[in-house]
Amino acid sequence: MVGSFQLMKSLNRSLILNIIRSAGMISRADIAKKTKLTPPTVTNITGGLLSEGIILEGQTGPSSGGRKPIMLRINSRNFFIAGVDVGVKKIRFGLADLNADLSYQTVVPISERMSEADLVRVITEQVQKLMRESAVPKEKMIGIGIGMHGVVDAERGISVFAPGLKLKNIPLKTMLEDVFLIPVKVENDVRAMALGEAWFGEGRGLDDLICINVGYGIGAGIIMNGRLFRGSHGLAGEIGHTVADLNGPRCTCGNYGCLQTLAAHDGLKNAALKEIILGRPTLISEMADGKPDKISGIVIHEAAKLGDELAIEILRGAGRYLGAAVSNLVHILNPPKIIVGGGISKAGAFILDPLREVVMKRSISEEARKTVIVESGLGDSAGLIGACTLVLSDLFSLNYENTKQTV
């Protein structure tokens, strides 16, 4: 049966675990104060958590008169999660502890015509390899978290449509739980990323935030009141397909002028190609050895760093389109912070400066200008950390379906 990890037994356990996690170190008395649970209940539950190796007793804390209290903390290196980040071009794997510290990371490219069976086989083999190389025993693995690009039915753990693989309806959760017999969580990659930012990145301490990923596509993960907001039909955050130009280029979704045709990877590449064909001198063609296929976001960024006018213009243009989208988000949801990540965001100021300028210019009030716009601090690991956080949020949080998961 799936769920050998005997953890989610009651809300009180989750409550206490989450308080210990967020405090770092805390005494039993302070847990009782914060939770309003009785001291015997706290002693009882923490006793269980101690004997299961989920928490540890640490040094003594400051005394408030009597005996110095013993501090409790999460035993973060005692349990592990396998994280899988399935992008458009590659799949990243890593092992995380309860602090989402990653080790044993590997990257596997997505091959042309990867079938559903191939994908499940690659994930299975790589997760088995992670467990073998790290020598983590199976009972210490609390789950597998998968951030999957495209449309995902998170509740049932199905990849509904993965455009990078051109595959539909892959029941990842069921297929992998059958193999590993531990819980498997599947979520859209950008939503997972947003959760990762909320727990371990730029979003720590915030109840509301939006995380935008700009790479081969553009998506957003929205967190409201500490929870992922998916919308009624799982479409919330699909900002890559919001209209940026009614007469713009055709998008992979069939519409015209979607944001991602103008500000994601291929939009940048096409903008460069168009100017090169018109004969505009630029370092981009040289740096791509004159081969259109070699033009990439990285090449454009490198050219911009060398002062290439066209490259800078292309990145600034993308930044302005993103700025318009971010301005829309500010006026619709008014989050305190918007975090920008993904490959294209590595162009840093070339993109973020025009983005912020547009948001400032379009804000309808002084308050709207207070939204903080930052680059993700988790970098290339954001997706993996997010994938692992899918499992961690089940472990620690009260907001999720914990109580249903009794084993």
Min. distance of Cβ 261 from Zn ion in angstroms? 7
Closer by beta carbon to Zn ion, 219 or else 319: 219
Asked if 150 touches Zn ion (CB under 5 A), the answer is no
Return the H-helix or E-strand segment holding 322: helix 309-333
Closer by beta carbon to Zn ion, 13 or else 241: 241
Min. distance of Cβ 170 from Zn ion in angstroms? 22
Q: Please provide the size of the chain in residues.
A: 407
Residue 99 token pair: 């602090």
Min. distance of Cβ 253 from Zn ion in angstroms? 3
Q: What is the β-pairing status of strands 372-375 and 151-153?
A: unpaired
Sign of CA dihedral 268, 274, 277, 282: negative
Q: Which position among 258, 303, 344, 395 is part of the footprint of Zn ion (CB under 5 A)?
A: 258
Among positions 280-319, residues that touch Zn ion (CB under 5 A) are none
Closer by beta carbon to Zn ion, 312 or else 318: 318
Closer by beta carbon to Zn ion, 255 or else 405: 255
Residue 276: how many CB atoms within 10 A of its CB? 18
Residue 109 token pair: 């490219």
Q: Which position among 29, 167, 253, 333 is part of the footprint of Zn ion (CB under 5 A)?
A: 253
Among positions 233-252, residues that touch Zn ion (CB under 5 A) are 241, 251
Closer by beta carbon to Zn ion, 254 or else 279: 254
One-letter amino acid at 215 equals G
Residue 329 token pair: 């988000």
Min. distance of Cβ 235 from Zn ion in angstroms? 12
Min. distance of Cβ 151 from Zn ion in angstroms? 12
Q: Name every residue whose Cβ is closer than 8 Å to that of residue 316 and which is 6 or more positions away in sequence.
A: 350, 351, 353, 354
Return the bridge partners of 141, or none.
Answer: 80
Q: Are 376 and 338 in contact (CB under 8 A)?
A: no
CA 60 to the chain's CA centroid: 36
Closer by beta carbon to Zn ion, 3 or else 249: 249
- The residues that touch Zn ion, with contacts defined as CB under 5 A, are 241, 251, 253, 255, 258
